[in-house]
Amino acid sequence: MNGQKTIIKLLNISKNFGNRKVLDNISLEVFAGETLVIIGRSGVGKSTILKHIAGLLAPDAGEVWVDGQELTRQKEAEVNELRKKMGVVFQYAALFDSLTVFENVAFRLLRDFRMPVAEAVEVVKKKLELVGLKDNLLDLKPAQLSGGMRKRVGLARAIAVDPEIILYDEPTSGLDPVSSEAINDLILEMQKKLGVTSVVVTHDMHSAYKVANRIAMIYDGKIIGTGTPEEIKQSQDPYIHQFVTGSVEGPMPVR
Ligand SMILES: Nc1ncnc2c1ncn2[C@@H]1O[C@H](COP(=O)(O)OP(=O)(O)OP(=O)(O)O)[C@@H](O)[C@H]1O
Ligand SMILES: [Mg+2]
């Protein structure tokens, strides 16, 4: 599936917010064509990692490599060029409330790729169909959609630009089981059909096992384990075991 070519590499990344050390010397590699799933409890820094890969946050120390370029050393224009290769599905969908579904999904096509509107309409219709939405939603505003539909619109927006890399932040949270499964299938399809490299942040272990080639778990600012779904499922590490089995018994405090 992959020739182990590294597409994303975090090297000794540290990040503080105020006096709180959220990422403590984290290193992580993502290979071309694979889906890496990041798991960990609320507040451990999963979204923070994705934002570093997306070039939306800069580390206090360390390096972020995407497609052979080190983001922190690039000028803004170059980071923007790299961003064109990435689609980001933000946690909570993060749509623009004042824009229509069409304007949301087409946003980067129009702004970054300067695509003519008529062409963008066709692309948007195709992407909406791909995420299981009808094109009669084009003129609706996010407030008129259900949570699940908003998530799908966020996904359509991320894939609108035909990215080589897709970053998914909790793509199935808050969705009913059937919609979650459809999103899992879509993540797999994007990988199989388009060969994209994906990083998926999730709490949903069913989803993690289904879409991951490898899973990395974060705890206390560090990556405490990385492995195939099977390895993670069988892990003897008490933290990983507690997390994946959702147990109150174990070294992690229940809060
Ligand atoms: N821009 C910011 N300014 C200050 N603190 C922040 C900022 N972004 C994140 N944090 C803090 O960093 C920590 C990690 O946040 P992050 O959103 O990465 O966690 P997470 O693992 O994605 O959590 P969740 O599963 O709840 O989404 C949290 O304590 C959060 O409050
Ligand atoms: Mg998060």
What is residue 2's predicted lDDT score, i.e. its pLDDT? 47
Decide if 136 contacts 128 (C-beta within 8 A).
no
**From the CB of 19, is ligand 1 less than 6 Å away?**
no
Kindly tell me the sign of the dihedral angle through the C-alpha atoms of 152, 154, 157, 159.
negative
> Which ligand 1 atom is the nearest neighbour of the CA of 91?
27
pLDDT tens profile 37-57 = 999 999 999 999 999 999 999
Look at residue 241 and tell me if it is in a domain. Answer: yes
Whether pLDDT at 3 is above 70: no
- The two tokens of residue 51 are 């934002």
How far is ligand 2, taken at its centre, from the CA of residue 170, in Å?
7
Q: How far apart are CA 188 and CA 123, in angstroms?
A: 21
Query: Residue 1 pLDDT > 90, yes or no?
Result: no
252 is a domain residue = no
Q: Burial of 190 by CB count in 10 Å (0-12 exposed, 13-18 middle, 19+ buried)?
A: buried
Residue 250 included in any domain = no
Instruction: Report the number of distinct structural domains present in the chain.
Output: 1
Q: Identify the residue whose C-alpha is closest to ligand 1 atom 8.
A: 48
Of the candidates 98, 131, 93, 125, the one whose C-alpha atom is nearest the C-alpha of residue 109 is 125
Please check whether residue 215 is in contact with residue 37, taking contact to mean a CB–CB distance below 8 angstroms: yes
- Answer yes or no: is pLDDT of 60 > 60: yes
Residue written as tokens 């949270």? 173
Residue 106 falls within a domain, yes or no?
yes
Compute the mean pLDDT over every residue in the chain, rounded to the nearest whole number: 92
For the whole model, what pTM was predicted?
A: 0.93
**How far, in Å, is the centroid of ligand 1 from the Cα of 24?**
14
With a 6 Å cutoff on the Cβ, whether 45 touches ligand 1 is yes
Q: Is residue 16 part of a domain?
A: yes
Residues 26-40 have pLDDT tens digits of: 999 999 999 999 999
**pLDDT digits over 187-238, tens only?**
999 899 889 999 999 989 999 999 999 999 999 999 999 999 999 999 999 9
| Cα–Cα dist 179/252, whole Å | 31
Among 194, 202, 117, CA closest to 151: 202
Distance 231 CA to ligand 2 centre (A): 24
Query: In the 3-class helix/strand/coil scheme, how is 110-174 assigned residue by residue?
Result: HHCCCCCHHHHHHHHHHHHHHCCCCHHHCCCCHHHCCHHHHHHHHHHHHHCCCCCEEEEECCCCC
CA of 49 to the centre of ligand 1 (A): 10
Radius of gyration of the chain (CA): 18
- Is residue 253's pLDDT more than 90? no
**Domain extent at residue 148:** 6-245
- Whether ligand 1 lies within 6 angstroms of the CB of 49 is answered as no
Q: Which CATH number goes with the domain that contains 115?
A: 3.40.50.300
Question: Distance (Å, rounded) from C-alpha 152 to C-alpha 130?
Answer: 9
Q: Whose CA is nearest to atom 1 of ligand 1?
A: 17
- Domain membership of residue 204 (yes or no) is yes
Ligand 2 geometric centre to CA of 136 (Å) = 31
Closest CA to 221 of 60, 2, 31, 71: 60
Q: State whether the beta carbon of 235 lies less than 6 angstroms from ligand 1.
A: no
